[in-house]
């Protein structure tokens, strides 16, 4: 089996490549085809823990074979794992050991976008779907992960020096997926017409050529200049690569589609490429944003009709600005895994806000310190904004504070980094939990199914609640010994993973995915968020209505001179 490849390219970042690729994954899966997503290189601090590759060369070439099976869950899971053909909610794969632990099934990291695309395809996510992941640690430095594992050697290389080193495993990962599936939906990055990067490209044109992909070129028409963006991108491509563009897609359109004429026809006359879809603007399409903080518009809310995108009442989806409950998430520069908060947008009676100033925390019932790819640097930024004092005042009033992963580390008394993992200096924490974190060279990457112990005070509703999530961190957190000697002890409410202060209102957890767990949402808010599977079907419905008849089928047909274009 050699899969037909459909590639989604964009005229820029933010054009909508990720969600259209996700929609295509579900569309082709609904046709009964075996589908896998692929993005050669992703730059994002939103990552998921997935199956790694088998160490034996089982048909993948270059030693990159089948994904290794995950260990069975050490206890009942509240939802089915996302096996091919099954529905899936916002949940990771079944729990397993650490990625490099002795006797444990190997695990690795991929960008969240490909994780969700795999679920949309009804496939089990694995590291081959995003073989190269760059996690920015500063404006000019990223941690590089190859096939799910941190590579310090590649991280130290300059950007252009990596391409020839990483291309063989990238190509092998794509070849292995093509051998196992009917369709591979490939997502590009940024724009394929970045002429300063073409010589070292491993994610756009080089992938398209290797896969002989049928390409769509997507543009964000809401920004303006869409036809110029499409024509300029097409014009900058080498002639052979222009021929791969099977259609232009106008994404995020709002208004009267009749006003577009005669531009699509004129563009086709200039390029020979038809405009095959006009995709309406979808505020809150239900997927987490791949990069940056997602907007605060209602999920599934239709501006024109005032109803949900699926026909339901808008109030069942939207975060009402007058809602009685308000959660403020601190949005520091290197925020990571923000996608785990998407389900909160779907909870009735809840407002979700992103906070970069003390004023943005005003009136919040709960303040959340999320994960960070640069904990010490983000903690310094937080202090520079005056957010530390605002958080301390909030906690002093007895209001809820939650720290997740890097946020947990910030809540403690001290960050100790003797190995220079994140910083060359040690730093004081916020002092809201009597804990100390020591950064270690080894990275913890694993799934976990655990149960909270007995909690008190503001977080008591989580007592005895089972939760499934995942860990991605480099630090180890323990009780501060000197503070313990004085009687100030953090209550460990989940062994090695969660601690609570004596007053009961400050909680720190290492486990990502709390708000993706249905049991946690019910315990804290008495509500369920819409299932992710329904989101995927809604995305597929949208593109099936937007694309011209026959286009989506034609993209996965073998090309001949008679059907070289859609």
pLDDT score for 323? 62
Three-state DSSP state, 494: strand
DSSP state of 496: T
pLDDT score for 483? 80
Signed CA dihedral, 381, 384, 385, 390: sign only:
positive
Cα separation values, 56 from 124, 329, 347, 442, Å: 19, 43, 45, 24
In sequence order, the 6+-apart residues with CB closer than 8 A to the CB of 300 are 284, 286, 308, 309, 310, 312, 314, 317, 318, 530, 538
Q: Can you name the residues that pair with 415 across neighbouring β-strands?
A: 427, 437
359 and 473 assigned to the same domain: yes
Domain-embedded: residue 296: no
In angstroms, the CA 87 to CA 414 distance is: 43
521 and 543 assigned to the same domain: no
DSSP state of 480: -
**pTM, whole model, 2 decimals?**
0.77
266 and 382 assigned to the same domain: no
497 and 543 assigned to the same domain: no
Per-residue pLDDT of the chain (566 residues; tens, 9 = 90+): 689 999 999 999 889 999 999 999 999 999 999 999 999 999 888 888 898 875 433 333 333 445 554 443 333 233 333 334 333 333 333 333 333 333 445 799 999 999 999 999 999 999 999 999 998 877 777 889 999 998 888 888 887 788 889 999 999 999 999 999 999 999 999 999 999 888 889 999 999 999 999 999 999 999 899 999 999 999 999 999 999 999 999 999 988 888 899 999 999 999 999 999 999 987 666 676 655 454 444 333 333 333 333 332 222 233 445 567 899 999 999 888 888 898 888 788 888 889 999 999 999 999 999 999 888 899 999 999 999 999 999 999 999 999 999 999 999 999 888 766 676 567 899 999 999 988 887 888 888 899 999 999 999 999 999 999 999 888 888 888 878 777 778 899 999 999 999 999 999 999 999 998 989 999 999 877 777 888 899 999 999 999 999 999 999 986 544 344 45
10 and 100 assigned to the same domain: yes
521 and 540 assigned to the same domain: no
Exactly one of 27, 210, 394, 512 is catalytic; name it. 512
Domain-embedded: residue 414: yes
255 and 345 assigned to the same domain: no
360 φ/ψ angles, rounded to the nearest 5 degrees: -70, -15
Overall residue count recorded for the chain in this entry: 566
In angstroms, the CA 13 to CA 381 distance is: 26
pLDDT score for 288? 67
In angstroms, the CA 249 to CA 20 distance is: 10
Q: Which long-range contacts (CB under 8 A, 24 or more apart) does 164-169 make?
A: 166/41, 166/131, 166/132, 166/202, 167/202, 167/206, 168/62, 169/62, 169/64, 169/131
Query: Closest by alpha carbon to 495, among 474, 479, 482, 514?
Result: 479
416 and 541 assigned to the same domain: no
Domain-embedded: residue 300: no
Q: What is the dihedral of CA 407, 408, 412, 415, to 10 degrees?
A: -70
256 and 363 assigned to the same domain: no
- Number of domains present in the structure of the chain: 2
H helical segments located in 385-450 = 387-396, 406-411
Active site residue 405: yes
Q: Are 333 and 384 in contact (CB under 8 A)?
A: no
Domain-embedded: residue 294: no
List the beta strands (DSSP E) in 432-548. 435-451, 466-479, 491-494, 498-500, 506-509
In sequence order, the 6+-apart residues with CB closer than 8 A to the CB of 259 are none
In angstroms, the CA 287 to CA 275 distance is: 25
Three-state DSSP state, 120: helix
Q: Are 508 and 552 in contact (CB under 8 A)?
A: no
375 and 494 assigned to the same domain: yes
110 φ/ψ angles, rounded to the nearest 5 degrees: -135, 165
517 and 419 assigned to the same domain: yes
The CATH number for 458's domain is 3.40.50.880
In angstroms, the CA 534 to CA 154 distance is: 39
Exactly one of 405, 438, 447, 473 is catalytic; name it. 405
In angstroms, the CA 499 to CA 479 distance is: 9
The CATH number for 126's domain is 3.40.50.300
Cα separation values, 163 from 160, 200, 206, 543, Å: 6, 6, 11, 34
Domain-embedded: residue 98: yes
* The token pair that represents 326 in the structure block: 């308000």
354 and 431 assigned to the same domain: yes
Query: Closest by alpha carbon to 88, among 533, 538, 534, 537?
Result: 533
Strand order from edge to edge, sheet including 35-38: 35-38, 183-187, 4-10, 214-220, 245-253, 275-280
Residues spanned by the domain of 182: 4-284+535-563
pLDDT score for 67? 53
The distance in angstroms from the start CA to the end CA of the chain is 24
Strand order from edge to edge, sheet including 427-428: 427-428, 414-416, 435-451, 466-479
In sequence order, the 6+-apart residues with CB closer than 8 A to the CB of 495 are 450
Domain-embedded: residue 295: no
Active site residue 512: yes
pLDDT score for 317? 31
* The token pair that represents 54 in the structure block: 């088998």
Domain-embedded: residue 365: yes
Q: Kind and range of the H or E element at 240?
A: helix 239-242
Domain-embedded: residue 557: yes
């Amino acid at each position: 089996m050699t899969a037909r490849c459909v590639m989604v390219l964009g005229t820029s970042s933010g054009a909508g490549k990720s969600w259209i690729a996700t929609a295509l994954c579900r569309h082709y899966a609904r046709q009964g085809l075996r589908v896998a997503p692929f993005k050669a290189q992703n730059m994002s601090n939103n990552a998921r823990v997935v199956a790694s590759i088998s160490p034996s060369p089982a048909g993948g070439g270059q030693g990159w074979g089948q994904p290794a099976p995950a260990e069975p869950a050490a206890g009942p899971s509240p939802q089915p794992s996302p096996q091919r053909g099954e529905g899936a909610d916002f949940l990771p794969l079944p729990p397993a050991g650490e990625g490099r632990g002795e006797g444990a099934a190997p695990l690795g990291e991929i960008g969240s976008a490909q994780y969700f695309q795999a679920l949309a395809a009804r496939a089990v996510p694995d590291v081959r779907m995003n073989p190269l992941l760059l996690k920015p640690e500063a404006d000019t430095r990223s941690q590089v992960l190859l096939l799910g594992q941190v590579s310090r050697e590649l991280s130290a290389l300059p950007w252009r020096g990596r391409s020839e080193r990483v291309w063989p495993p990238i190509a092998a990962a794509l070849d292995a997926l093509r051998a196992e599936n009917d369709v591979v939906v490939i997502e590009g990055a940024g724009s394929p017409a970045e002429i300063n990067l073409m010589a070292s490209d491993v994610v756009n044109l080089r992938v398209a050529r290797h896969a002989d992909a049928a390409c769509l070129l997507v543009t964000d028409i809401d920004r303006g200049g869409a036809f110029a963006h499409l024509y300029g991108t097409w014009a900058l491509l080498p002639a052979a690569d222009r021929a791969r563009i099977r259609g232009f897609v106008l994404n995020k359109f709002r208004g009267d589609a009749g006003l577009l004429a005669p531009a699509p026809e004129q563009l086709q006359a200039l390029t020979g490429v038809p405009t095959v879809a006009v995709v309406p603007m979808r505020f809150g399409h239900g997927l987490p944003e791949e990069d940056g903080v997602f907007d605060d518009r209602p999920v599934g809310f239709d501006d024109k009709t005032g109803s949900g995108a699926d026909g339901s009442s808008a109030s069942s989806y939207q975060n009402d600005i007058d809602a009685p409950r308000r959660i403020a998430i601190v949005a520091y520069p290197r925020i990571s895994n923000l996608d785990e908060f998407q389900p909160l947008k779907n909870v009735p009676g809840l407002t979700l806000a992103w906070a970069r100033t003390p004023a943005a925390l005003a009136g919040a019932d709960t303040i959340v310190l999320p994960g960070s790819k640069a904990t010490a640097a983000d903690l310094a930024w937080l202090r520079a904004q005056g957010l530390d004092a605002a958080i301390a005042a909030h906690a002093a009033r007895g209001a809820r504070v939650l720290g997740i992963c890097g946020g947990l580390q910030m809540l403690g008394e001290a960050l100790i980094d003797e190995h220079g993992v994140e910083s060359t200096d040690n730093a004081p924490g916020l002092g809201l939990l009597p804990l100390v974190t020591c950064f270690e060279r080894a990275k913890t990457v694993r799934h976990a199914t655990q149960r909270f112990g007995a909690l008190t005070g503001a977080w008591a509703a989580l007592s005895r609640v089972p939760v499934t999530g995942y860990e991605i961190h480099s630090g180890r957190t323990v009780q501060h010994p000197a503070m313990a000697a004085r009687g100030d002890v953090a209550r460990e409410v989940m062994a090695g993973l969660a601690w609570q202060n004596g007053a009961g209102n400050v909680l720190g957890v290492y486990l990502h995915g709390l708000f993706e767990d249905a049991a946690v949402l019910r315990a804290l808010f008495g509500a369920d968020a819409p299932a992710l599977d329904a989101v995927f079907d809604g995305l597929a419905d949208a593109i099936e209505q937007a694309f011209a008849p026959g286009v989506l089928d034609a993209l996965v047909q073998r090309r001949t001179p008679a059907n070289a274009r859609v």
